[in-house]
Amino acid sequence: MAAVVAATALKGRGARNARVLRGILSGATANKASQNRTRALQSHSSPECKEEPEPLSPELEYIPRKRGKNPMKAVGLAWYSLYTRTWLGYLFYRQQLRRARNRFPKGHSKTQPRLFNGVKVLPIPVLSDNYSYLIIDTQAGLAVAVDPSDPRAVQASIEKERVNLVAILCTHKHWDHSGGNRDLSRRHRDCRVYGSPQDGIPYLTHPLCHQDVVSVGRLQIRALATPGHTQGHLVYLLDGEPYKGPSCLFSGDLLFLSGCGRTFEGTAETMLSSLDTVLDLGDDTLLWPGHEYAEENLGFAGVVEPENVARERKMQWVQRQRMERKSTVRPGGWEGRGGKPGPHPASTYHCPARACKLFLELWPLTAGV
């Protein structure tokens, strides 16, 4: 019964992975899994958690798998290969794009920009739940686009802001993040396309490695290698020092509010290591994720930590936002550390950071199902 209740609680993406909650495993395997979970909780607890974390509820058992094995099944691997390596994937993306434009002519969510002393971050809702971003040096009139999957929506924002697009930063190769590279780079002849050479990003012109810095006006943006979702996944850290503001992390499909991306090309261990890279950033670092996954992820976190008060407060806020189709990636509305409203810190403050990491033990087991 507990497994059924837990599976019901997993909505959206989580529902497809509900089989991971299969009740209690008996014998030494179950005991070992429980010990592993407890160690994970103790090793990766949030700084906000002053008490020793409790182990995962016995009703939610970890199903062990071979270390280093990609959990995707044969059918999932075949479809993923077609999606990422052939033009069938591009055609599928174009179909998604047409449907999203018809369904959400003004975007799937209402977003708000954030201005920091002459630097503007503008979220752009695209497809059914993606976010692209424009990072603008308002004094120089220069803009950088992050994951511009819908070139029409991004171009409309460029024209509205009256800026010159000089760079595209791609976190990874998936079409819902890179689909606009061709049209935008052709329209803006001086625009450079940055990304990892390991990922096969379309129309890449300037390969980046870990810790490389892209400079545009006063914008200093550092690339951080975070494999797991894809082999060459990068996140981009906008340094706040030049404009005397908070740093901003554009996390692609690595980290969302209380959740993380699927491990299509890596293992849970690899993803956990990549998460550690960004969870060590300063508490004032602001998170700008690649998808609107807050409600689904917090629902999953509620299964893992049903008594977590901070998670419940976040969920209530997120549900109010979504009822009005407001983005959860927006300034104001949620109080972070110190009571100051703003986008969510990259450290996913409070105990849901632990849920985010426990998420890794369960989620990858049925990826591609």
**215-253: pLDDT as tens digits:** 999 999 999 999 999 999 999 999 999 999 999 999 999
pLDDT above 50 (res 92): yes
Task: Tell me if 317 is assigned to some domain.
Answer: yes
The answer, yes or no, to whether residue 8 has pLDDT greater than 50, is: no
How many independent structural domains does the chain possess?
Answer: 1
**What mean pLDDT do residues 63-86 have?**
68
For 306-316, how does the pLDDT look when each residue is reduced to its tens digit (9 = 90+)? 888 888 888 99
Which of 286, 279, 273, 293 shows the shortest CA–CA distance to 336?
A: 286
Catalytic residue among 44, 108, 229, 350: 229
The rounded mean pLDDT for the chain is: 77
Asked whether residue 69 is domain-assigned, the answer is no
Q: Is residue 141 part of a domain?
A: yes
Over 90: is that where the pLDDT of 21 sits?
Answer: no
The reply to whether 176 belongs to the active site is: yes
Report how far residue 5's alpha carbon sits from residue 120's, in angstroms, rounded to the nearest whole number: 44
- Active-site entry in 108, 291, 344, 350: 291
- Of the residues 176, 188, 233, 350, only one is catalytic, namely 176
Rounded to an integer, the average pLDDT of 191-208 is 96
Helix (H, G, I), strand (E, B) or coil at 184: helix
Say if 74 falls within a structural domain.
no
> How big is the CA angle at 233 (ends 228 and 236), to the nearest 5 degrees?
125
Catalytic residue among 174, 188, 233, 344: 174
- Looking at residue 70, its pLDDT comes to 54
Q: Which of 172-186, 288-302, 343-357 has the lowest mean pLDDT?
A: 343-357
How distant is the alpha carbon of residue 222 from its chain centre?
A: 17
Other beta carbons within 10 angstroms of residue 120's beta carbon come to 16
Q: Is 291 a catalytic residue?
A: yes
CA proximity to 254, closest of 96, 146, 157? 146
Whole domain around residue 299: which residue ranges? 81-366
pLDDT tens figures, 179-188 = 999 999 999 9
* Full-model pTM: 0.76
Active site (annotated) includes residue 172: yes
The reply to whether 229 belongs to the active site is yes
64 within domain boundaries: no
CATH of the domain at 136: 3.60.15.10
Identify the active-site residue in 108, 177, 188, 233: 177
pLDDT for the residue 20: 33
